[in-house]
Amino acid sequence: MANTAQIGVADVHEAIAATMPDEHCLVFRDRRFTWREVTERTRRLANWLLTQGLGCHTERADLAAHESGQDHVAIYLHNGNEYLETMLGAFKARVVPFNVNYRYVAEELHYLLDDAGARAIVVHSQFAPQLAAVLPHLPRLTVILQVPDESGHALLPGAVWYEDALAASSTDRPSVDCSADDLYMLYTGGTTGMPKGVMWRNGDAMVECFGGSPTATTIGEFVVEATTGLRALLAPPFMHGAGHWMSFRTWLGGGTVFVQSQPDHLDAHDIWSLVERERLNFLLIVGDAFARPLIDGLDRRDDEPYDLDSLTVILSGGAPLSSNLKAELIDRLPTVMIVDGLGSSEAGGQLAHVSAGAHAQTGTFELTPGNVVLSPDLDRVLTADDDQLGWLAKTGRLALGYLGDESKTARTYPSIDGVRYAVPGDRARYLDTDTIELRGRDSVTINSGGEKIFAEEVEAALRAHPAIYDCVVAGRPSRRWGSEVVAIISIRAGFDVDDAALLTEARRHVASYKLPKQIIRVDDVVRSPSGKADYRWARELATTR
């Protein structure tokens, strides 16, 4: 019998759909799609992609871990049915879907689409101008599907409206045979520098990222276990792993995915009223940046509270959820269980911590099979007797590596005594035999509102202004965002420039959400004798000013 790693997502979704064709699979605004309808729509999309010549051209067995033999389709969309349909339809065509951060400016967008070697893209109309600006420099990107929205932007030259493509295609099952070796690719937020495409075998991703049953060994066994009854609202952007991972987890459990009516921003009333109206039992958020406004939304309705009795689980992933906000959520929703989920693009889901009742804690996790702490020099597996700050690591089913980057793949996936590990970069130490304390990323990445911001790219954007002599970027705690970006700069002699001019230049190079919330001016930026920035000094200064 095949093990779970030999079964792909598309085949399992088709099998589950056959058992509940008339049940709701996906709900967005006033559109309620049954499992039969999602199956037909994703088959249509797959068949259209195949008519464009897209698919798999080299099988996995003939490729190195950092190589892809399939065509790649970019998903440049806000949350909606089209996002998840594109992922599933691409899988059915043996095309690799990957995420695009819709906040990127042209420079970042070009880098991402070029690095991914995108052949196709599905784009909301509001992003058409940004895409049009980079298309002349992306000769491989020739297949464009456009989704209309409130922006009213016209169809891009050479593009096809999304629904027209579906209407022109067959509902027959695509002629290609999907493989568990087909790729799923997730671009990182840049925690290790510029964004990188993390490539997973489809079969491995189904278990480690999408929550497929770890014990099922046949498609039939997956179907039997698809009885979770989840009615889930996945509030974060699907462009982040947390959002679409939990969407597929819901589907593989036979549940229904709900999308909020206002996916382009966080609207607390939109979220809570949807939970109330649809009697949802599961809500996914991203740390403090989601929790704080959602709690404020509950407070605004004290005189006329929402009926949220159906809600049983709030899962936070992608950014820390502080213990005080957990306590506030539990106080307002005493029957709800708060779960911290820990995972990464490189390792998939790893650990979870549950808070309920009067207990709310953050930063500690019980180790589960396959998760270990490695020594600081990555040469051995630590035990509970080792009082060292090591690296949280995972073994078992892991991503293949980074697209086109053999050396980074080797660094992130070291082998110790013949065992391959994923080391995403989280520092941890043992508290006891079964429990670890997570100390955070050993890098200068700033996690602001669920967005991972790499300090060096913000520094580079600021340095593009000729008045900047030196600068360093650090994060500081923020009640609203969890962390926020602060820039510490020194100005070249003879220049007189205000903060607005500096931010205007920086905005040309990075998305607005990466810009510093405050600029602190100093005579000299502190660096080590070797010239490296003193980020400890920078964080202390940013926090106290």
Distance CA 480, CA 38 (A): 37
Nearest to 312 by CA among 229, 402, 224, 370: 229
Q: Does 435 share its domain with 452?
A: no
**Which tokens is 120 given?**
């196709």
Q: Does 207 share its domain with 125?
A: yes
Of 201, 221, 241, which one is at a domain's C-terminal end?
221
Q: Does 435 share its domain with 479?
A: no
Q: How many domains does the chain have?
A: 3
Nearest to 209 by CA among 45, 384, 68, 344: 344
Of 221, 252, 270, which one is at a domain's C-terminal end?
221
HSE-up of residue 145 (Cα within 13 Å, Cβ side): 26
Looking at residue 530, its pLDDT comes to 40
The CB density around residue 498, as the number of other CB atoms within 10 Å, is: 10
- The three-point CA angle 150-153-157 to 5° equals 145
What is the chain's pLDDT, residue by residue, as a tens digit (545 residues)? 334 468 999 999 999 999 999 999 999 999 999 999 999 999 999 999 999 999 999 999 999 999 999 999 999 999 999 999 999 999 999 999 999 999 899 999 999 999 999 999 999 999 999 999 999 999 999 999 999 999 999 999 999 999 999 999 999 999 999 999 999 999 987 544 578 999 999 999 999 999 998 888 899 999 998 999 999 999 999 999 999 999 999 999 999 999 999 999 899 999 999 999 999 999 999 887 788 889 989 999 988 999 999 999 999 987 777 777 888 899 999 999 999 898 999 999 988 888 776 556 667 888 889 999 999 999 999 999 998 889 999 999 999 999 999 999 999 999 999 999 999 988 888 999 889 888 666 667 788 888 878 787 888 889 889 898 888 999 999 989 999 999 999 998 899 999 999 999 999 999 999 999 999 999 988 875 445 678 889 999 999 98
CATH assignment of the domain containing 455: 3.30.300.30
**Which tokens is 505 given?**
């230049």
Spatial contact of 434 and 233, defined as CB atoms under 8 Å apart: no
Q: What 8-state DSSP symbol labels residue 4?
A: G
Q: Does the CA dihedral 486-510-112-9 come out positive or negative? A: positive
Q: Does 492 share its domain with 423?
A: no
Q: Determine the 3-state secondary structure of 507 from DSSP.
A: coil
Q: Determine the 3-state secondary structure of 231 from DSSP.
A: strand
Q: Does 372 share its domain with 461?
A: no
The alpha carbon torsion through 240, 243, 247, 253 (nearest 10 deg) reads 110
Q: Does 424 share its domain with 452?
A: no
In angstroms, what is the C-alpha Rg of the chain? 23
Residues in Cβ contact with 500 at an 8 Å cutoff, skipping those fewer than 6 apart = none
Distance CA 534, CA 525 (A): 8
Distance CA 139, CA 62 (A): 26
The verdict on residue 107 lying in a domain is yes
Spatial contact of 23 and 33, defined as CB atoms under 8 Å apart: no
The verdict on residue 165 lying in a domain is yes
What Å distances lie between residue 387 and 200, 280, 393, CA to CA?
33, 43, 17
Tell me whether residue 394 is exposed, middle or buried, using C-beta atoms within 10 angstroms of its C-beta: 0 to 12, 13 to 18, 19 or more: buried
Looking at residue 4, its pLDDT comes to 46
Strand order in the sheet with 160-161: 96-99, 72-76, 120-124, 143-147, 160-161
Looking at residue 512, its pLDDT comes to 94
Residue 407 main-chain phi, psi, to 5 deg: -70, -40
The CB density around residue 236, as the number of other CB atoms within 10 Å, is: 26
Element (H, E) at 544: helix 535-544
- Kindly provide the residue ranges of all beta strands, DSSP E only, lying in 303-384, ordered along the sequence: 313-317, 337-344, 348-355, 364-366, 371-374
Q: Does 407 share its domain with 494?
A: no
The verdict on residue 279 lying in a domain is no
The verdict on residue 197 lying in a domain is yes
Q: Does 519 share its domain with 418?
A: no
Q: Where are the alpha helices (DSSP H) in 301-350?
A: 323-332
The verdict on residue 333 lying in a domain is no
Residue-number span of the structural domain to which 413 is assigned: 364-441
Q: Determine the 3-state secondary structure of 283 from DSSP.
A: strand
- Mind giving me the DSSP string for 69-116? -B-EEEEE--SSHHHHHHHHHHHHTT-EEEE--TT--HHHHHHHHHHH
Residues in Cβ contact with 492 at an 8 Å cutoff, skipping those fewer than 6 apart = 466, 467, 468, 469
The verdict on residue 255 lying in a domain is no
Q: Does 167 share its domain with 205?
A: yes
Of 441, 466, 498, which one is at a domain's C-terminal end?
441
Looking at residue 358, its pLDDT comes to 53
Beta bridge partners of 77: none
Q: pTM (2 decimals)?
A: 0.85
Spatial contact of 275 and 308, defined as CB atoms under 8 Å apart: yes
CATH assignment of the domain containing 95: 3.40.50.980
Beta bridge partners of 441: 426
Q: Does 94 share its domain with 206?
A: yes
The verdict on residue 214 lying in a domain is yes
Distance CA 53, CA 170 (A): 16
Q: Does 409 share its domain with 459?
A: no
Residue 2 main-chain phi, psi, to 5 deg: -70, 145
Spatial contact of 100 and 108, defined as CB atoms under 8 Å apart: no
Residue 198 main-chain phi, psi, to 5 deg: -90, 125
The verdict on residue 199 lying in a domain is yes
Q: Does 128 share its domain with 164?
A: yes
Spatial contact of 438 and 426, defined as CB atoms under 8 Å apart: yes
CATH assignment of the domain containing 391: 2.30.38.10
Query: What's the gap between Cα 254 and its chain centre?
Result: 22
